[in-house]
Amino acid sequence: VYRDMLKVSGNLQEVMLGYSDSCKDGGILASSWSLYKAQQIVVGLAARHGVQCRLFHGRGGTVGRGGGPTHESILAQPPGTVHGEIKFTEQGEVLSFRYHHPETAVYEVTMGVTGLLKASLGLLREPRQDAPAQRAVMEQLVATGEAEYRALTDHDPGLMPYFYEATPVREIGLLNIGSRPSHRKKTDLSKASVRAIPWIFGWAQARQPMPAWYGLGSALQQYLQAHPEQIEVLRAMYADWPYFRALVSNCEMSLAKAEMHIAREYAELCSDSAVRERIFGAVQQEYSRTCESLLQVLNSDQLLHDNPQLAFTLARRNPYLDPINHIQIVLLRRLRQDQAERATDAETPSPWLDPLLRTINAIANGIRNTG
How many whole angstroms separate alpha carbon 244 and alpha carbon 237? 6
In the chain, where are the structural domains located?
A: 2-123, 133-367
How confident is the model at residue 68, as a pLDDT?
Answer: 62
> Which residue type occupies 150?
R
Classify 194 as helix, strand or coil. Answer: strand
How many whole angstroms separate alpha carbon 366 and alpha carbon 324? 10
How confident is the model at residue 371, as a pLDDT?
Answer: 43
How confident is the model at residue 125, as a pLDDT?
Answer: 75
- Give, for 244, the enclosing helix (H) or strand (E): helix 242-257
How many whole angstroms separate alpha carbon 203 and alpha carbon 211? 8
How many whole angstroms separate alpha carbon 344 and alpha carbon 122? 65
How confident is the model at residue 345, as a pLDDT?
Answer: 63
Contacts of 281 (CB under 8 A, 6+ apart): none
How confident is the model at residue 64, as a pLDDT?
Answer: 46
Q: Measuring CA to CA, which residue among 292, 214, 189, 157 is closest to residue 24? A: 214
Measured from the Cβ of residue 215, the count of other Cβ atoms closer than 10 Å reads 29
How does pLDDT run along the chain (371 residues), one tens digit per residue?
A: 888 888 888 888 888 887 778 889 999 999 999 999 999 999 999 999 999 988 888 765 555 444 567 778 788 888 888 878 888 877 766 777 788 889 988 988 898 888 888 878 777 777 788 999 999 999 999 999 999 999 999 999 999 999 999 999 999 888 866 555 555 566 677 888 898 889 999 999 999 999 999 999 999 999 999 999 999 999 999 999 999 999 999 999 999 999 999 999 999 999 999 999 999 999 999 999 999 999 999 999 999 999 999 899 999 999 999 999 999 999 999 999 998 887 766 677 889 999 999 999 999 888 875 44
How confident is the model at residue 41, as a pLDDT?
Answer: 94
How many whole angstroms separate alpha carbon 280 and alpha carbon 158? 11
From the number of C-beta atoms within 10 Å of its C-beta (0-12, 13-18, 19+), residue 24 rates as buried
> Which residue type occupies 151?
A
Residue 183's DSSP bridge partners are 194
How many whole angstroms separate alpha carbon 30 and alpha carbon 138? 10
DSSP conformation letters of 138-159: HHHHHHHHHHHHHHHHTT-TTH
For the chain, give the percent of residues with pLDDT over 90: 57
